Amino acid sequence: VRRHLYTGISELVQPHALEGQTREPLTIQRDAALLIENGQVSAAGPRRAIAALAAAGHATHIDLGDRAVLPGFIDSHTHVVFAGTRVDEMARRARGETYEQIAASGGGIKRSAAQLEQASERELVETALGRLARMLSKGTTTCEIKSGYGLLPAAEHKQLAAISALGGRTAMRIVATVLAHSIPGVYSERRAEYVALFCEQILAPAARAERARFCDVFVEQGVFTNDEARTIAAAARAAGLGLKLHVDQLHDNGGAEFAAELGATSADHLEESNARGRAALARAGVVATVLPGCRLFLGKGPWPAARALRDAGCEVAVATDCNPGSSMVVDLPLCAMLAATEGGLSLEEALWGITRGGARALALPATDATLTAGDRADFVVLSAEDWRTLFYSPGDPPIDAVVIGGQVVTGALT
Ligand code: NIG
Ligand code: FE
């Protein structure tokens, strides 16, 4: 057995289950220690107790010298596998065009689909690896990745194969989602035919090959209707996939209530959702995932109403939505900070959103986002004593090292 004893932990941050809105979502243990065995936490708690435990068996000792330790961050919504660039759309927006105008005039998702069509699986893997490495350097240890830039079966399966290959090329844990993102132009007059094709030739084979754990649908005016999403959700359920939904991103379509009606695991975006929708999400136990990277990147529209979602009783997760068109953002702590400064969460709730909230949004066990005995040894070591320093220098989080499965994968612990 490989045993490592970490001492000198100024603050060991433990997110816990939410009970109503009042209880603090984190517990902070001061002057703590962690005992890691074979990639798992075998004990965590006050330094004296843990050090005594470790002394009973041989362990390599690492003194962190008064630094805060947090569970690894879980980015529960990304489109990080894509080809090419849409930087010119950024230039067009800066001159006043909107995201929707650009999408309607040859840009947007269809443009990324044309670029992905031309790329090899290998190119998709290599370019995504670079982005994953940058995410990792910001503390992300688990990352969800969606398909959805393939649109047609061959290209969707190429994208899903790239996502699956990434799992073996990065230390990060990858969770795959098959995404119904847009109706391809050739099917614009035959929408029902495309929905059937998506269910039978994309979703079902992806589930059979275990290349997706979730199915997601972009429900929006001009994209998929509620009825089309219902058909896809039924196919997802039949195939054993969990359901996630992009809703109320650009317009209030009653998408939050729709996600509650379908009993989705998470409803994501929610920029335009109303109070009835927020209450429905809370009642149905659907995780509300906010993606402040979009408002940051697009520069227009409302910030996601994270505070109102929490006050309605929702569990709020925060993710990057990393994608070439609406959120070219790899920095999950930055998104959490924005969920606090612009969305009204407390720093504690913001950290909860990228740890336990991310785990909830991916239906992962709670043990994946905490650091107690039996949990995955995925954690982030800050260069600061106070864990809140994570949110103090946006874009430059003070991260000394990231550990996955007990192994230091980026940075150093000296
Ligand atoms: O989550 N809303 C739909 N999909 C992505 C954007 C896709 C794109 O513009 O490429 C999103 O924002
Ligand atoms: Fe998205």
CA pseudo-torsion sign 159, 165, 171, 173: positive
Residue nearest atom 6 of ligand 1, based on CA coordinates: 326
Ligand 2 centroid, distance to 378 Cα (angstroms): 25
Measured in Å, residue 323 CA sits from the centre of ligand 1 at: 7
Cα–Cα distance, 371 to 13 (Å, whole number): 8
Rounded to an integer, what distance in angstroms lies between the CA atom of residue 329 and that of residue 352? Answer: 20
Query: What is the number of the ligand 1 atom nearest to the C-alpha of 325?
Result: 9
Angle between helix 226-238 and helix 255-262 axes, rounded to 10 deg: 30
**Which tens digits make up the pLDDT trace of 93-152?**
999 999 999 999 989 999 999 999 999 999 999 999 999 999 999 999 999 999 999 999
From the CA of 386, how far away is ligand 1's center (Å)? 35
Nearest CA to ligand 1 atom 9: 325
Of all atoms in ligand 1, which is nearest to the CA of residue 77?
1
The model's pLDDT over 180-203, given as tens digits with 9 standing for 90+, comes to 999 999 999 999 999 999 999 999
376: DSSP letter: B
The bridge status of strand 73-75 relative to strand 214-218 is unpaired
Q: What is the dihedral of CA 222, 272, 147, 98, to 10 degrees?
A: 60
Place of tokens 């057995």: 1
For 45-65, what is each residue's pLDDT tens digit?
999 989 888 887 889 999 999
Ligand 2 center to residue 80 CA distance, Å?
10
Q: How far is the CA of 322 from the centre of ligand 2 (A)?
A: 8
Contact 392, 403 (CB under 8 A): no
Measured in angstroms, how far is the CA atom of residue 192 from the centroid of ligand 2? 23
Closest residue CA from atom 5 of ligand 1: 326
| Strand pairing class (379-382; 60-71) | antiparallel
Q: 127 CB contacts (<8 Å, ≥6 apart)?
A: 82, 83
* CA distance linking residue 84 with residue 212, whole number of Å: 24
The whole-number pLDDT of residue 53 equals 84
Nearest-CA neighbor of 309 among 278, 268, 350, 265?
Answer: 278
Ligand 1 pocket test: which of 77, 79, 217 has the largest number of ligand atoms within 8 Å of its C-beta?
79
What residues does ligand 1 touch, defined as CB less than 6 Å away?
A: 79, 108-109, 112, 218, 246, 249, 294, 321, 323-326
CA nearest to 295, candidates 303, 287, 284: 303
Which atom in ligand 1 lies closest to the alpha carbon of residue 323?
10
For residue 247, the CA-to-ligand 2 centroid distance in Å is 10
What is the structure's pLDDT at 250?
Answer: 97
Q: What is the pTM of this model?
A: 0.98
pLDDT at 21: 59
Q: Which residues on adjacent β-strands are paired with residue 15? A: 26
Note residues around ion ligand 2 (Cβ under 5 angstroms): 321
Q: What is the pLDDT of residue 51?
A: 86
- Which amino acid belongs to residue 337? M
Which one-letter amino acid corresponds to residue 146? K
Q: Please tell me the total number of residues recorded for the chain in this structure.
A: 414
Q: How far is the CA of 179 from the centre of ligand 2 (A)?
A: 9
| Whether the Cβ atoms of residue 15 and residue 359 lie closer than 8 Å to each other | no
pLDDT at 22: 61
Instruction: Report phi then psi at 12, rounded to 5.
Output: -105, 115
Residue 166: both structure tokens together: 């990434």
Number of the ligand 1 atom closest to the C-alpha atom of 269:
1
For the record, the structure tokens of 39 come out as 């990639």
CB distance 332 to 320 below 8 Å: yes
Q: Calculate the average pLDDT of the chain.
A: 96
Distances (CA, A) of 305 to 85, 262, 289, 300, 323: 29, 22, 10, 15, 21
Ligand 1 pocket, mutate which of 75, 80, 98, 109 (most atoms under 8 A from CB): 109
Which atom of ligand 1 is nearest to 268's Cα? 1
Query: Coil, strand or helix: which one is 119?
Result: coil
Compute the distance between CA of residue 248 and CA of residue 370 in angstroms, rounded to an integer. 31
Residues of the chain with pLDDT under 50: none
Phi, psi angles (nearest 5°) of residue 150: -90, -45
How far apart, in whole angstroms, are the C-alpha atoms of residue 161 and residue 227?
A: 29
256: nearest Cα among 224, 226, 232: 226
Please give the pLDDT value at position 58: 86
Question: For residue 149, which ligand has an atom nearest its CA?
Answer: 1
Query: Which atom of ligand 1 is the closest one to the Cα of 108?
Result: 9
- Amino acid 113 reads A
Name the residue of 88, 147, 181 whose CB sits within 8 Å of the most ligand 1 atoms, as the mutation to test its pocket.
181
- Token pair, residue 367, equals 């043990």
What is the spatial distance between Cα 367 and Cα 356, in angstroms, rounded to a whole number? 9
